Amino acid sequence: MKITKVYTRTGDQGTTSLVGGVRVSKASLRLDAYGTVDELSSHIGLLIAMLGSDEQTKLLKRIQNTLFNVGTHLATDAKQTELLSSARLPQGEVAYMEQQIDDINNSLNSSQGFILPGGSQEAAQAHVCRTVCRRAERCIIALAETAEIGDEILQYMNRLSDYLFVLAKKINFNKHIGENLWENACK
């Protein structure tokens, strides 16, 4: 798809078009949901830039592509417009994320306590990605209370935040940086 003009002026009054042409307020839950997914993809892009040619970069780029599917799904009002194939997750994507989580988790020492975000700059950015992912998930859940959202979208976002958590742990582990544990646990 070639973009020939960046501005259209059609949103100057506070509305935008969904997939299929339906116009909605830019303050709608739907836009908040897919806008937060877009924000997450931007944070993942920053993490990719920080990691360089790290082994996880290929997977993070795959995640960004999948987030485009999620965004297209959220930008489609399924009650008014049929979902395009680009609005569906690739087959087996949730199971693939679970396998990635398990692989990382099995290679790390289990922690005893709650982990505070931080460590290396890259791991801290992975935690930022995780928290933005959780916010996106909450926005999608709020939207799902009034709109048709595929179960696989919610499942994927839930797994993705788990992946970003274990990725932060792995990054610190690979850099020989210990986990920063909450010191006031249950006192």
Quick: pLDDT tens for 150-179: 999 999 999 999 999 999 999 999 999 888
Q: How far apart are CA 7 and CA 23, in angstroms?
A: 16
Tally of CB atoms within 10 A around 15: 14
In the numeric block, which tokens belong to residue 4?
Answer: 């020939």
Q: For residue 127, what is the DSSP state? A: H
H/E stretch holding 15: strand 15-17
What pLDDT is stored for residue 12 in this prediction? 61
What pLDDT is stored for residue 19 in this prediction? 74
Residue 133 has pLDDT above 90, yes or no: yes
Strands 23-25 and 15-17: antiparallel
Q: Which domains does the chain have, with CATH numbers?
A: 22-74+92-99+116-174 (1.20.1200.10)
What pLDDT is stored for residue 158 in this prediction? 97
Report the number of secondary-structure helices (H) and strands (E) in the chain: 5, 2
**pLDDT-based confidence at residue 182 (cuts at 50, 70, 90):** confident
What pLDDT is stored for residue 160 in this prediction? 98
Q: For residue 90, what is the DSSP state? A: P
